[in-house]
Chains A and B, each alone.
Chain A
Amino acid sequence: MTSELDIFVGNTTLIDEDVYRLWLDGYSVGDAVALRVRSGILEQTGATAAVLQSDTMDHYRTFHMLERLLHAPPKLLHQLIYQIPPSRQALLIERYYAFDEAFVREVLGKKLSKGTKKDLDDISTKTGITLKSCRRQFDNFKRVFKVVEEMRGSLVDNVQQHFLLSDRLARDYAAIVFFANNRFETGKKKLQYLSFGDFAFCAELMIQNWTLGAVDSQVDDMDMDLDKEFLQDLKELKVLVADKDLLDLHKSLVCTALRGKLGVFSEMEANFKNLSRGLVNVATKLTHNKDVRDLFVDLVEKFVEPCRSDHWPLSDVRLFLNQYSASVHSLDGFRHQALWDRYMGTLRGCLLRLYHD
């Protein structure tokens, strides 16, 4: 006796959250059944392994049929085939678009292309996430990217509108899309200590201040691309380190203000010029795509690492950066105050976030 066909169709589509998770995690039916058995469900319910097998198959089939709709979440809401309560729909979508930290760190900033897709095998081996799950997450990134690129309006809003994600998740996707579009390097060894949250935080600041959208909300792609003009203008900041007098003046202003307040004052005083050169040079190089990509590498190399090697506490870093940005306003010979604020305001936020072990 073999079961040829075995189905269960409810007027309200039954969704088992545990099985959904197993499915999303890319387990085969067999593995999922084994995992469910291990969870002790048989003892709790008095069911047999055959029942569990049939139940798992059934849910997998349902999810497989729903997957097509999950690719365009608004369709899931308007379709008539599966009657699913709104709260369950939201859960299905949110979980489907959720991603693993380990996975996103691997692909963040990479081009979402076929080439990267080929590397998924390696990522799967490295992270222990099933290949199937990696593919789903990668395809999700790519799908969201395709839909929202070249779209007007706020990136987060667009993601939210077209994929019906929660605010949190929509922000994360905005960051992923932004990173993918600008191809920021995040995979270098010295960046490994940074979490996805760190990058997403920076992405949000950059989207808010450095993109076209920050000055004009009526352009295509406004939140995706950095404001080219702004990057061009950043060259003007060069004077802060190129002009010796200006640099000395800046240093003395900062030192005067921070004397006695900084635990690492002497180290700061000794390193001021190096740090300042580092920060300003990062700005002036941003006209080159290559240097844009290396933004985070440069920030860590030029600022985070020197400070960390001198054991600056975070509070001192904050005091220093505040004073460092503010003192520029007192430099009479410097005319690009607004530009400086647009640059340094964001950079200060990013650096503070990036400064940890």
Chain B
Amino acid sequence: MPGKLKVKIVAGRHLPVMDRASDLTDAFVEVKFGNTTFKTDVYPKSLNPQWNSEWFKFEVDDEDLQDEPLQITVLDHDTYSANDAIGKVYIDIDPLLYSEAATVISGWFPIYDTIHGIRGEINVVVKVDLFNDLNRFRQSSCGVKFFCTTSIPKCYRAVIIHGFVEELVVNEDPEYQWIDRIRTPRASNEARQRLISLMSGELQRKIGLKVLEMRGNAVVGYLQCFDLEGESGLVVRAIGTACTLDKLSSPAAFLPACNSPSKEMKEIPFNEDPNPNTHSSGPSTPLKNQTYSFSPSKSYSRQSSSSDTDLSLTPKTGMGSGSAGKEGGPFKALLRQQTQSALEQREFPFFTLTAFPPGFLVHVGGVVSARSVKLLDRIHNPAFVGIMGNTRSYKLLDWNSFNSDEPETRDAWWAEIRQEIKSHAKALGCHAVVGYSESTSICEEVCILSASGTAAVLNPRFLQDGTVEGCLEQRLEENLPAGCGFCHIPYDELNMPFPAHLTYCYNCRKQKVPDVLFTTIDLPTDATVIGKGCLIQARLCRLKKKAQAEANATAISNLLPFMEYEVHTQLMNKLKLKGMNALFGLRIQITVGENMLMGLASATGVYLAALPTPGGIQIAGKTPNDGSYEQHISHMQKKINDTIAKNKELYEINPPEISEEIIGSPIPEPRQRSRLLRSQSESSDEVTELDLSHGKKDAFVLEIDDTDAMEDVHSLLTDVPPPSGFYSCNTEIMPGINNWTSEIQMFTSVRVIRLSSLNLTNHALNKNFNDLCENLLKSLYFKLRSMIPCCLCHVNFTVSLPEDELIQVTVTAVAITFDKNQALQTTKAHVEKSLQRASTDNEELLQFPLELCSDSLPSHPFPPAKAVTVEKTSPMGEGNFRNRSAAPCANSTVGVVKMTPLSFIPGAKITKYLGIINMFFIRETTSLREEGGVSGFLHAFIAEVFAMVRAHVAALGGNAVVSYIMKQCVFMENPNKNQAQCLINVSGDAVVFARESELEVVSTQQPAANCQPACTGGEVTT
């Protein structure tokens, strides 16, 4: 049943002149919802009309409320000819449908026209009266909250994290309908915008229904994407994590509640090895390790990974039983069983979250990913090799019955990929995949579907309703771990899914850890990191012959494994060059174009204290007899060593020395080294040969066997570090920096380069691409130099190949200034601190209980002085792991809306989530030159998109968008015709935030809550 939607059109301003004769406009407004339309009176001869209309009332089903956007059209009245449209505003009324979010939408909206851009503004008020509906079989899912944020939103507590939800809807793309030949570009664009808005609404409603079925009340980490498949249609798909969230109303209420979960979480992972010394052990800088499961290459490169494949194909092999038997820890076994049972009920135990409540994540296995090449409109295609080998795709839609809800083919495609991901995770001894995401790249009729995530073992506590076993909890309480648990391998060391080099954890010395850890998630808050992190990118291009259909798909399928392998090697080399041992937030994007494939991997490198020190990189020459060559090699070697040393200094990586005996000798793993070698060849002889060539234990060997390899080494060394005062990362926050000020600047930068088509080689291409990315970063550093000392956070690169010789790179990130002095202090305090944390904690505990808690989280030690200051300004606020300085908010003017890709706002607290922002815009021009060329056109459009997002947030009563993301920026130009078109899709969470200095009362904040248990733990141990 129904709701009543009420709309009032108040006024307009800055309207364009529609009547040349009078230089004025006779404007009126059409308000449309579903099939009902109302009109205001004409307000004659004014550019600032005051309609002050009555309330237009729409009585509608809540299903429609969820699906349909409110459409407001501003027109110029013309007595003699057709009325001219000035522009439109689409308002998503979803935020009004759940009780805690916005209650009214009221404000100035830019009037948008797909040809002319923003043309003035209109003031609108929208309200919804919703009647309660008890019908169980309803089709709507009003009340389910959606969040783009990929962690538990700040003012909520996760009661249960249910798991993966996905849905997709398919339709014909209006741009490709026959009618498009006869209608205007404006009509076509508007049809498309409206359709996508409608499909998004429908998709969200359907996902909401699934969440209700799972008895959840929210979707976190909601990611919705469009696939513009051209002739074969338009797919809107979304994934997310269903949760049951509790609003944190008062701190008192939530502290006790939090107590148990975090206790449990911390303890459970460690119960396997009761270790009384854990907490007080000297260098308590727990490090994390990750293994990397290179799944696509697994499936492809059969020669090296037959064993993995076997494992991954036997999903029924219970992890729990295997490992429990080996390690003999009864608790572990219990834990595994619990988790397994909790997860087994789910088809896909995936989580789109990248940050978790403390204790949720028990172990991390490594990155799992899968790709599949599909033909969009052919029935037979040589699909993905390996596990996907037998897939057949079918024609998407029967055009005679378009709009039919039959997205089976696409569903099946994704189901296959997810199945593969799941089995890869199993092979890694993990039941679950976290930090999960899906993407596509489409060129003509070929489509690459990709999915990736991080295999992990989770704490069952959050996954089910059942209460946790009290005894288990209590017994484990004493061994509060120092935050290295997630690095410990989840798989069985004697039956490893892939060769890896294991050592005992450098932190607890009890469990095995891999030598390198790759993950797609954010750095867990309790991880101990040494020094700072940095953005690491691998960039790669591969030429491909132009081909049609199946031949094309085959060519791409054949290239993919090599690309993945190279990207991986590059990442590994760059990581070593930085002297680091773990990657977080890894995102590998493979883009397909007419005549090339591009791979771009971005991640944040860090040095986890729990993982072993990375070995250096050694260069091995192929022709050792040549003297000058040898000299050259040794010269290169020296350069590499110098770079590593320089980077260690730059990123302040100085791990405490640990003698070999304590750690124990590395587990012998004969095959491990060969795995890490850079060698594309399949001959095993070479591998052996290489294995002999490097003497040093951990060294990573680069074999320079041809000019290509030489170039690769060179390119390794050409990555210039950011100028002093700048840091960058693609995760939420920079490890090692925790004194952010409130000065933030979100930006989008787009570059398109045209390749000279002559003699394109892979190398020229690689160089061009590399230069493009490097220059882009350099430009960013230059532009933002006034913000130094500053860190670019959540740097998100996307590559697309709009045409044969064009490469487009889009970057969205946020620059945050931090306090230099405190930064220094922190780093100094860091080492000291880690050595005597227990005692410090204790002292502080007495004085500043809450502050202390956060301090006791091993990953982010604060200088005590800082803790005190913060304590004074806001009694508890900063208990958060990010110790942000409570800078006084500089005269904040009305109407400023902050935007950030992060889930938080430095120096401020999010007090309310107002709903999801999900907007899609098309802009087209037929006067490209007049609008300043392609740069002028796109610059103006992106500025307009920002403006429309801000206006919607402001109208909801918010003052910021968090977890903002530009999911799509498709740009097409035709300079000869003086035309260009661009499609942009953005999303984020509208929020209200308050400066910390403004908050008098302790507001409810989850991280602060989590402190409490940690403190308790600390007390017990010491």
- Cβ–Cβ < 8 Å partners of A8 in chain B: 747-749, 779-780, 783
B935 touches A80 (CB 8 A): no
Instruction: With both chains docked as a complex, state the minimum distance between the C-beta of B295 and any C-beta of chain A, in angstroms.
Output: 34
Instruction: With both chains docked as a complex, state the minimum distance between the C-beta of B576 and any C-beta of chain A, in angstroms.
Output: 26
CB contact between A11 and one of B13, B747, B779, B891 (< 8 Å): that residue: B747
- Cβ–Cβ < 8 Å partners of B696 in chain A: none
- Cβ–Cβ < 8 Å partners of B751 in chain A: 3, 5-7
A9 touches B943 (CB 8 A): yes
User: Is B932 in the interface zone, CB < 8 Å from A?
Assistant: yes
**Complex: A57 Cα to B936 Cα, angstroms:** 10
Chain B residues 879-907 with CB under 8 Å of chain A are 891, 893, 896-899
Chain B residues 252-288 with CB under 8 Å of chain A are none
- Cβ–Cβ < 8 Å partners of B110 in chain A: 80-81
Chain B residues 743-794 with CB under 8 Å of chain A are 745-756, 768, 771-772, 775, 778-783, 785
User: Is B939 in the interface zone, CB < 8 Å from A?
Assistant: yes
B778 touches A48 (CB 8 A): yes
B806 touches A4 (CB 8 A): yes
**Complex: A55 Cα to B775 Cα, angstroms:** 12
**Complex: A17 Cα to B746 Cα, angstroms:** 20
User: Is A12 in the interface zone, CB < 8 Å from B?
Assistant: yes
User: Is B118 in the interface zone, CB < 8 Å from A?
Assistant: yes
CB contact between A5 and one of B723, B781, B934, B944 (< 8 Å): that residue: B934
A51 touches B768 (CB 8 A): no
A45 touches B748 (CB 8 A): no
**Complex: A46 Cα to B726 Cα, angstroms:** 13
For chain A, the count of residues having a C-beta within 8 Å of the partner chain is 38
Instruction: With both chains docked as a complex, state the minimum distance between the C-beta of A115 and any C-beta of chain B, in angstroms.
Output: 25
User: Is A260 in the interface zone, CB < 8 Å from B?
Assistant: no
A7 touches B778 (CB 8 A): no
Chain A residues 1-58 with CB under 8 Å of chain B are 1-14, 45-48, 50-52, 54-55, 57-58
A1 touches B893 (CB 8 A): no
Contact mask for chain A residues 176-188; partner B; CB cutoff 8 A; 1 contact, 0 none:
0000000000000
**Complex: A52 Cα to B785 Cα, angstroms:** 13
User: Is B938 in the interface zone, CB < 8 Å from A?
Assistant: yes
Chain A residues 79-124 with CB under 8 Å of chain B are 79-83, 85-86
Chain A residue nearest in CB terms to B954: A80
Instruction: With both chains docked as a complex, state the minimum distance between the C-beta of B796 and any C-beta of chain A, in angstroms.
Output: 15
Beyond A1-B771, A55-B782, A81-B118, is A61–B939 a contact (Cβ under 8 Å)?
A: yes
User: Is B700 in the interface zone, CB < 8 Å from A?
Assistant: no
Chain B residue nearest in CB terms to A54: B779
Instruction: With both chains docked as a complex, state the minimum distance between the C-beta of B116 and any C-beta of chain A, in angstroms.
Output: 13
- Cβ–Cβ < 8 Å partners of A336 in chain B: none
Contact mask for chain A residues 55-77; partner B; CB cutoff 8 A; 1 contact, 0 none:
10110011011000000000100
Instruction: With both chains docked as a complex, state the minimum distance between the C-beta of B753 and any C-beta of chain A, in angstroms.
Output: 5
User: Is B98 in the interface zone, CB < 8 Å from A?
Assistant: no
Chain B residue nearest in CB terms to A89: B893
Chain A residue nearest in CB terms to B785: A45
Beyond A14-B783, A61-B935, is A78–B14 a contact (Cβ under 8 Å)?
A: yes
**Complex: A13 Cα to B893 Cα, angstroms:** 15
Chain A residue nearest in CB terms to B942: A9
- For A2, A4, A14, which residue has the most chain B Cβ atoms within 10 angstroms? A4
Beyond A3-B752, A4-B752, A5-B751, is A82–B778 a contact (Cβ under 8 Å)?
A: no
B753 touches A10 (CB 8 A): no
Instruction: With both chains docked as a complex, state the minimum distance between the C-beta of B1006 and any C-beta of chain A, in angstroms.
Output: 26
User: Is B947 in the interface zone, CB < 8 Å from A?
Assistant: yes
B940 touches A65 (CB 8 A): yes
B779 touches A55 (CB 8 A): yes
A9 touches B782 (CB 8 A): no
- Cβ–Cβ < 8 Å partners of B584 in chain A: none
**Complex: A48 Cα to B723 Cα, angstroms:** 12
- For B750, B779, B781, B897, which residue has the most chain A Cβ atoms within 10 angstroms? B779
Instruction: With both chains docked as a complex, state the minimum distance between the C-beta of B813 and any C-beta of chain A, in angstroms.
Output: 11
A80 touches B947 (CB 8 A): yes
User: Is B876 in the interface zone, CB < 8 Å from A?
Assistant: no
- For A7, A62, A65, which residue has the most chain B Cβ atoms within 10 angstroms? A7
Beyond A5-B752, A47-B778, A57-B935, is A82–B783 a contact (Cβ under 8 Å)?
A: no
- Cβ–Cβ < 8 Å partners of A82 in chain B: 943, 947
- Cβ–Cβ < 8 Å partners of B942 in chain A: 7, 9
CB contact between A7 and one of B13, B723, B771, B935 (< 8 Å): that residue: B935
A11 touches B745 (CB 8 A): yes
Beyond A79-B14, A81-B947, is A10–B806 a contact (Cβ under 8 Å)?
A: no
Chain A residue nearest in CB terms to B933: A5
Instruction: With both chains docked as a complex, state the minimum distance between the C-beta of A137 and any C-beta of chain B, in angstroms.
Output: 24
Instruction: With both chains docked as a complex, state the minimum distance between the C-beta of A141 and any C-beta of chain B, in angstroms.
Output: 22
A64 touches B932 (CB 8 A): yes
**Complex: A83 Cα to B944 Cα, angstroms:** 11
User: Is B121 in the interface zone, CB < 8 Å from A?
Assistant: yes
B779 touches A5 (CB 8 A): no
Beyond A6-B935, A61-B935, A65-B940, is A50–B775 a contact (Cβ under 8 Å)?
A: yes
User: Is B946 in the interface zone, CB < 8 Å from A?
Assistant: yes
- Cβ–Cβ < 8 Å partners of B89 in chain A: none
- Cβ–Cβ < 8 Å partners of A13 in chain B: 943
Contact mask for chain B residues 961-978; partner A; CB cutoff 8 A; 1 contact, 0 none:
000000000010000000
B754 touches A80 (CB 8 A): no
Chain B residue nearest in CB terms to A64: B932
**Complex: A1 Cα to B807 Cα, angstroms:** 10
Chain B residue nearest in CB terms to A72: B14
B13 touches A78 (CB 8 A): yes
A1 touches B756 (CB 8 A): yes
Instruction: With both chains docked as a complex, state the minimum distance between the C-beta of B724 and any C-beta of chain A, in angstroms.
Output: 9
A10 touches B939 (CB 8 A): no
Contact mask for chain B residues 115-134; partner A; CB cutoff 8 A; 1 contact, 0 none:
00010010000000000000
Instruction: With both chains docked as a complex, state the minimum distance between the C-beta of B995 and any C-beta of chain A, in angstroms.
Output: 16
Chain B residues 544-597 with CB under 8 Å of chain A are none
Chain B residue nearest in CB terms to A41: B782
CB contact between A83 and one of B768, B806, B946 (< 8 Å): that residue: B946
- Cβ–Cβ < 8 Å partners of B943 in chain A: 9, 13, 65, 81-82
Chain B residue nearest in CB terms to A79: B14
Beyond A1-B771, A4-B753, A10-B747, is A47–B934 a contact (Cβ under 8 Å)?
A: no
Instruction: With both chains docked as a complex, state the minimum distance between the C-beta of B794 and any C-beta of chain A, in angstroms.
Output: 13
A7 touches B779 (CB 8 A): no
B778 touches A10 (CB 8 A): no
B752 touches A80 (CB 8 A): no
**Complex: A294 Cα to B785 Cα, angstroms:** 54
- Cβ–Cβ < 8 Å partners of A2 in chain B: 753-754, 756
- Cβ–Cβ < 8 Å partners of A6 in chain B: 750-752, 779, 935
B778 touches A5 (CB 8 A): no
B752 touches A83 (CB 8 A): no
A11 touches B746 (CB 8 A): yes
**Complex: A13 Cα to B899 Cα, angstroms:** 12
CB contact between A75 and one of B14, B753, B779, B951 (< 8 Å): that residue: B14
Chain B residue nearest in CB terms to A9: B942
A11 touches B898 (CB 8 A): yes
Instruction: With both chains docked as a complex, state the minimum distance between the C-beta of A160 and any C-beta of chain B, in angstroms.
Output: 20
- Cβ–Cβ < 8 Å partners of B756 in chain A: 1-2
Interface residues of A (CB under 8 A from B): 1-14, 45-48, 50-52, 54-55, 57-58, 61-62, 64-65, 75, 78-83, 85-86
Interface residues of B (CB under 8 A from A): 13-14, 108, 110, 118, 121, 723, 745-756, 768, 771-772, 775, 778-783, 785, 806, 808, 891, 893, 896-899, 932, 934-936, 938-940, 942-944, 946-947, 950-951, 971
- Give 5 closest A-B pairs by Cβ, nearest first: A5-B752, A10-B747, A4-B752, A11-B746, A9-B942
Given contacts A3-B752, A9-B748, A86-B893, 7 further A-B contacts (CB under 8 A): A5-B751, A5-B938, A11-B899, A51-B782, A78-B13, A80-B951, A83-B947
19 A-B residue pairings within 8 Å (CB atoms): A4-B752, A4-B754, A6-B779, A6-B935, A7-B935, A10-B746, A11-B746, A11-B747, A47-B781, A50-B775, A52-B782, A55-B782, A55-B783, A57-B935, A58-B939, A61-B939, A81-B118, A83-B950, A85-B893
